[in-house]
Amino acid sequence: MVQKWKRWNTAARKWLWILVVLGVAAALPVGYDRLQTETTSKNVELVFNYRDLVDISAYQAHPQDFISEQLDRLQAAGVTSMALFESTLDELVKSRRVVLYDSQQVADLTGNVISPNENFTYVTFTNEDQALRIRPIIEQTFMMLDIPVRSWEYNGSEGLVIETPRANAIIKPLSPDPIAFEMLRDRGFQIVPRLTDSLPYNQEHTENLIAYFAENGVKRILFDGEAVKGFNDEAEQESMTAFAELLNKYDIGLVAIENIRNQQKGFAKLAYLTDYNVTRVYSLSARDANLDVDVISDRFALASKDRNIRMFYLNAEPSRDMTKASITHPLDNLIESLTEPGHAIKKIEDNGFTIGPAEAFKVTDSSLQRYFKMVVVVGAVALIALMISFYIPFLTIAAFLFGMVGSAGLYVLNASLMEQALALFTAISAPTLAVILAIRKVDHSRKQVQNMKTGQRLSNAIVLMLTTTVLTLIAVPLVVALLNNVTYMLVLDQFRGVSLLAAAPIALIALYVVLYRGSSAGSTFAAIRKLLQTPITLVWIIGAGVVGIVGMYYLSRTGNAGTVSSIEMAFRSFLENTFGVRPRNKEFLLAHPLMVLGLFLSFKYRYGVYLLIIGVMGQLSMVGTFTHIHTPLDISAIRVVLGLVLGLLIGLIAVGVWQVAERIWKQWSPQLKR
């Protein structure tokens, strides 16, 4: 019975390969849908933070003239939109809309005695038009907060008394300044309101606000703070659902902030309720606004091309420059980065984009995609089972059956988690399986052909490198299909397990090279027994320490959190400007060349295969490139091909250097022994 089970498991590999091929075939139309989706959003919108402009103007001799002049300059430079925050009394003071006093100041001004038990905020308006336009939004906000507001007059100017301390009053969010709103609209700017969830949710007030936005051409809302509007009252009022209905009614979408540490609370749900009418924004911080214009320009061009960013948010703030004894600002630097000499807008347009209002992706979802994905799941499980079969052949069939049952169960509990888990293990399995088959091939060839000629070894190494790469890349359509969801494109959800993907294939290949290169289970157990009986020496300890340090450094560079030196940044910019798409350094400078060299040496030397432990890094990295779902498929494909071509070229150079070094060693080593 045991022998029959072994034969069944061996025979099962053929059927698993068939299922993998069927899974890849089913994944292709799903990938095509993804390609179609990526072509539907080609507008790039440049948004400037209007509040920052007001803050800078407060340090100018003629603030209103300064704002007018800078708005003209920004518009001429290509800025199409202005971000307008919910106003505050403090901001209205800077805009010369109102003047604020506390109770003591009013007592000093009027000569009247104010009760020592009173600590109120007094507001006067700078002219009748300001009073007509601003007074209602102040009264409305504080009445919603149950803070009494009453009329007041000073020197013939009407005003308000807000029965709360000034320090409290100035931080309450009001509706956006209607005077600034209309001024910016009249100048031709698109308005991007920034809303908070600081006040209790009120459906009537919110609908009036959203209707006003829609009447004035607002297309997107960008939230300010840690939560979306309506989040805090969702449990009692279902306010997020009500807010989403308003957004859908008035056809207003959302903006997702890239690289935010914690996603704004409730954003994922609100995006779902608005049918993912979402675009992504890259925010250039006020500090980074002072970077070199070429650096800013490259960031914008790269983000729009490589990360599906369709909106750029420009911050600026005044700062004290003691060397010049003046207050400075980065507006000139920002404008130069967009025009000359930075040419950011030209670079963006050269990449096929148009400067205009950002649009959400129109998702292409064919009617058969659901069924194709079911076949993809079967193919992914089969691939994982195949990888397991080379380590534990006895469990080949069991691994496949367990994978299918587990996938079905996980799908019922959490479909997204099932897709991510399968995508991760598929991405690990393909490069591992590909390199295992390459190792088996070179071992077989070395036994069959003794003293293989150099040219034959080189040609075989190149062919095997390419076939290994093709086998690795069968994971790509499977992973793309499994993660084909707009939530990944918008980074509302992300592929998880990046560090595991970066480490697991290396560890698995190392395990295979050390323990599984024998032809039978007995030889594997013998290798394990021999390894366990080997004395641990100081060399082993030092070696383990070196491997640990290198491994930690490698993992620290995995993903987007690693730091990059200025030299490497310059090299990256060189690659980007030279090729248009930057290949990954670890692929073409390290892993691919070592893979070529390792295969070349393995056809002659048994221990040459140890280089493939590092070489698999390039194989897994190619698959990992396609797990960045927010990067367009064509960009990922170009990146992989460039890395492979450059890696092969450098690998050939490495082979040549080895051959020269080997000949020198053979010529001089006899003399050294004398």
Beta-bridge partner residues of 314: 48, 284
Cα separation, 231 vs 269, in Å, equals: 10
Higher local confidence (pLDDT), 162 or 5: 162
Cα separation, 490 vs 37, in Å, equals: 12
pLDDT digits (tens, 9 = 90+) for 283-310: 999 999 999 999 999 999 999 999 999 9
User: Does 566 score more than 90 pLDDT?
Assistant: no
User: Does 180 score more than 60 pLDDT?
Assistant: yes
With vertex at residue 561, the alpha carbon angle to CA 560 and CA 566, rounded to the nearest 5 degrees, is 90
Torsions phi, psi of 84, nearest 5? Answer: -115, 115
Q: What is the mean pLDDT of residues 234-261?
A: 93
Mean pLDDT of the chain: 89
Using a cut of 0.75, tell me whether the model's pTM lies above it. yes
Using only C-alpha atoms, what is the Rg of the chain?
32
pLDDT digits (tens, 9 = 90+) for 450-500: 778 888 999 999 999 999 999 999 999 999 999 999 999 999 988 888 889
Beta-bridge partner residues of 311: 45, 281
Mode of pairing for the β-strands spanning 98-102 and 43-49? unpaired
> Who's near 38: CB < 8 A, 6+ residues apart?
308, 361, 489, 632, 633, 634
Cα separation, 91 vs 102, in Å, equals: 17
CB 382 within 8 A of CB 16: yes
Is 150 strand, coil or helix?
strand
Binning pLDDT at 50, 70 and 90, where does residue 524 land? low
Which domains are seen in the chain, by residue range? 2-39+364-673 (no CATH), 43-86+175-355 (3.20.20), 88-174 (no CATH)
Preceding amide of 341 cis, omega within 30: yes
pLDDT digits (tens, 9 = 90+) for 14-62: 999 999 999 999 999 999 999 999 999 999 999 999 999 999 998 999 9
Q: What is the mean pLDDT of residues 117-137?
A: 89
pLDDT digits (tens, 9 = 90+) for 329-338: 999 999 999 9
With vertex at residue 530, the alpha carbon angle to CA 527 and CA 534, rounded to the nearest 5 degrees, is 140
Residue 517 burial by Cβ neighbours in a 10 Å radius (0-12, 13-18, 19+): middle
Alpha helix ranges (H) inside 45-112: 50-57, 63-77, 89-94, 103-110
C-alpha distances in Å from residue 228, one per residue of 69, 217, 267, 358:
34, 21, 6, 20
Cα separation, 575 vs 571, in Å, equals: 6
Cα separation, 430 vs 623, in Å, equals: 9
User: Does 581 score more than 70 pLDDT?
Assistant: yes
Torsions phi, psi of 565, nearest 5? Answer: -70, 160
